[in-house]
Structure 1
Amino acid sequence: MSPPPRILVARSDKLGDFMLTWPALATLRRAMPEARIDLLVSAPVAEIALACPCSDGVIVDRGQALTALAREIRQNRYDSAVALFSTGRVAAALLAGGVAYRLGPATKLAQLLFNHRLVQRRSRSEQPEHAYNTDLVYRFLSDHGVDCPEVIQGPYLQFAGAELDPVEQALRRHYRIPPDALLVIVHPGSGGSANNLSTTQYAALANRLASDDMIFLLITAGPGERRQAEAVAEGVDAHPVAVHESREGLMAFAKVLALADVFISGSTGPLHIAGALDVSTAAFYPRRQSSTALRWQTTNRPGRRLAFSPPRDAPETDMGAVDIDAAATAINEAFLDVRPR
């Protein structure tokens, strides 16, 4: 019998981009359960990549010499590779790494280094990023004579109760969160990935949230974002509030996000972790074609995601024009169970 195929899937950019590969990875795993599926990722996402249930191993691109990266790829003797985003570095590493079948998007000069290509017009933002990724997996399966299953639905990242219970107990104890309070997480940082609401807008939104149950607001901050989080917290007076700074890595932060009843943010990496966890999300996007709510749609179930953008009569990147009152009303009705009296 021939050995199981060895597949390398590459997506070596930011956290949010990587999290949007998980539906494609789940679909690939379902179609080829016997295959070895490894990931080629950037250093900032390596920790969460190692936790991906649909992969068997991780190669980390830390910016090492291209020859060193290619050597590691060659040592793993991959039969094929799928680059879910085209970069010259990744394409060159796959070629130099001796991978016989190399599939990537037919964009940029890097496409010349792939021997299999799929035309994608991602700049048109006609479908979600996760769908573009899945289209490449479907092309890969078709080329290898494998039936294409329906896209696997999330959650794509899950934690057992035994993992989350001590996290929840510690969080509620540390911030004095009542056991019956709804936990609403607001993440005002964006890592510079997209236009975002101001801290004043996030505070105004938080003050307009309402429920028949108590709401506790946890304002989260990644590296370098604590000042933003504190500015939001200082503007909140309608609910008890605390600032939580993520210092223990992505997986520890993901466990905190898994406890949220609602997660609110701009278009950023933590939003897509929350989506993979199937947490209810409310996200704020500019209308710019490359940054729309459709293009960067989260991967949670449709009933668990809301998206807000500037109105049509405002500039496409004017996040100050977003209707905060309307957004709060939609969040309250969809996720916070405001019951009629």
Structure 2
Amino acid sequence: MEHPAALAGPPIGWRDLDRVLVVRPDNLGDVLMAGPALRALRHAAPGARLDLLAAPAGAAAALLLPEIDAVLTCSVSWQEAGSRDVPVAADLDLVDRIGHGGYQAVVILTSFSQSPWPAGYLCRLAGVPVRVGMSKEFGGAGLTHWVPSPPDELHQVDRSLHLLERVAVPPFGGRLHARVPPGAVRAARVLLGDRGPYALILPGASCPARRYPAGRFARVAGRLASSGLRVVVAGTAKEAPVVAEAAGDVPGAVILAGELDVPALAATVAGARVVVCNNSGGAHLAAALGTPVVVLFAGTEQVGQYLPRFVPASVLTVPTGCAPCRQFTCPYALECLDLPPERVAAEAVRLAARGPVRTSAWSSVREPG
């Protein structure tokens, strides 16, 4: 039996709402995995303005999700993982920003290890009357509609959809989606040209414990080039040393460090024959855009919560006794990513061969019109 306070709030008239806020202050991939929930909300509240509260790392993903009308970007205190002291004024400022939005409802999306209560209480102070979230524990008046958590093992997409189903928002499928702006296609084309099929390597990740060694990525790149695929290696400006090392000495490799914003990265992912990456936003971009992907999955998380679906994918990992560890830095020797480059490259070549033959590397990108 569920707690008597669970779902004690009255039915929500979604179709009557004018302004709804969705809270997901996480990384790029987390926001992309919220896409099916956003799509379901858009259908349930077709006339509402749908805004997203996102962290800087995930805010740019909103440019790829047509359901989102505007973004409130904020590094929220309850997601601060380090020892840095966050001034109380930052929380008070966020309360004011939310209050000025005039939201009638907020939906707080979380992973199994996160709590919706801090966001719920801030939104309560901001005057948002309907506050929906999911949690294992009871937290009082922070949420008007508290949904008890499903099993931890549930995929992150299904977790968000479960939350909405419990408050009468039916799902419209669990497939990720993304819209690539036409300008991003043009920007990526300028950088890459159109010289045949390519494999895209994304060696970065949000923390060192999730990163396959760059030197091994270089060996993967060499084998992909030998198979006839052009090699593109991309990452952020901060990842420039890793990107350069991952490209190795592959002849003709295109190295893009800090040159692609998120929309242009999405265009590059959409144009690739295959993507090879860590458990990172790149994997979810590939899933959203239908590009085959090889994911080198560290033991920091449970595979079933994040694996790409509805797209040709190969998730490679080495089972270890310490997984899932949730660590940012591996205290051992990354045994969970002790994957031979030859195996990684073979999987990438196999998946690349499964995809349709494109007359242009950009033919898979549909421009609105």
**Residue 351 of structure 2 aligns to which amino acid in structure 1?**
A
| One-letter amino acid of the structure 2 residue matched with residue 14 of structure 1 | N
Normalising by structure 2, what TM-score?
0.75
Q: 1:134 aligns with which of 161, 165, 169?
A: 161
Structure 1 length-normalised TM: 0.81
Superposed, which structure 2 residues align to 1:1-341 within 5 Å? 4-62=17-75, 65-85=90-110, 86-107=115-136, 113-120=142-149, 124=152, 126-140=153-167, 142=168, 148-151=170-173, 153-154=175-176, 156-159=177-180, 162-163=182-183, 166-173=186-193, 179=195, 181-192=196-207, 194-209=209-224, 214-234=228-248, 236-237=249-250, 240-247=252-259, 249-288=261-300, 291-298=301-308, 301-302=310-311, 304-310=312-318, 312=319, 316=323, 318-336=335-353
Cα distance 1:221–1:149, how it changes in 2: closer, same or farther (>3 A)?
closer
Per-residue displacement from partner, 1:52-80 (whole Å, max 9, x unpaired)? 20122222224562222122222222221
Extract unaligned runs of 5+ from structure 2. Answer: 1-14, 77-88, 324-333, 356-369
CA contact (8 A) 2:299 2:320 kept: no
SS in 1 for 2:166: helix
Aligned equivalents of 1:90 and 1:283: distance in 2? 32
In the alignment, structure 1 segments of 5+ residues that lack a partner are none
Query: Is 1:194–1:268's contact at 8 Å kept on the other side of the alignment?
Result: no
Mark the CA change 1:248 to 1:231 in structure 2 (over 3 Å): closer, same or farther. closer
Is the Cα contact below 8 Å between 2:132 and 2:145 reproduced in 1? yes
Give the whole-Å Cα distance in 2 for the aligned partners of 1:182 and 1:109.
52
Helix, strand or coil at the partner of 2:242? helix
Amino acid at match of 2:107: V
Match of 1:73, SS?
helix
Q: Percent identity?
A: 21
1:268-292 superposed Cα distances (whole Å, 9 cap, x missing partner): 123323322222211111245xx13
Paired with 1:266 and 1:232, the residues of 2 have a C-alpha distance of 13
Q: Residues 192 and 254 of structure 2 are in contact (CA less than 8 Å); yes or no, is this contact kept in structure 1?
A: no
Q: Which amino acid aligns with 1:255?
A: A
Q: Secondary structure at the match of 1:295?
A: helix
Runs of 4+ in 1 over 6 A off after TM superposition: none
- Superposition deviation, residue 164 in structure 1: 5.2
Change (3 A) 1:52 1:231: same
What displacement does 1:12 show? Answer: 0.9
**Rounded Cα–Cα distance in structure 1 between residues aligned with 2:159 and 2:45:** 20
Helix, strand or coil for the counterpart of 1:224? Answer: helix
| Aligned-pair CA distance for 1:188 | 0.9
Shift of 1:193: 6.6
- By how many angstroms is 1:24 displaced? 1.2
Q: What is the CA–CA distance in structure 1 between the aligned matches of 2:305 and 2:133, rounded to whole Å?
A: 19
Equivalent residue of 2:59, what SS?
Answer: helix
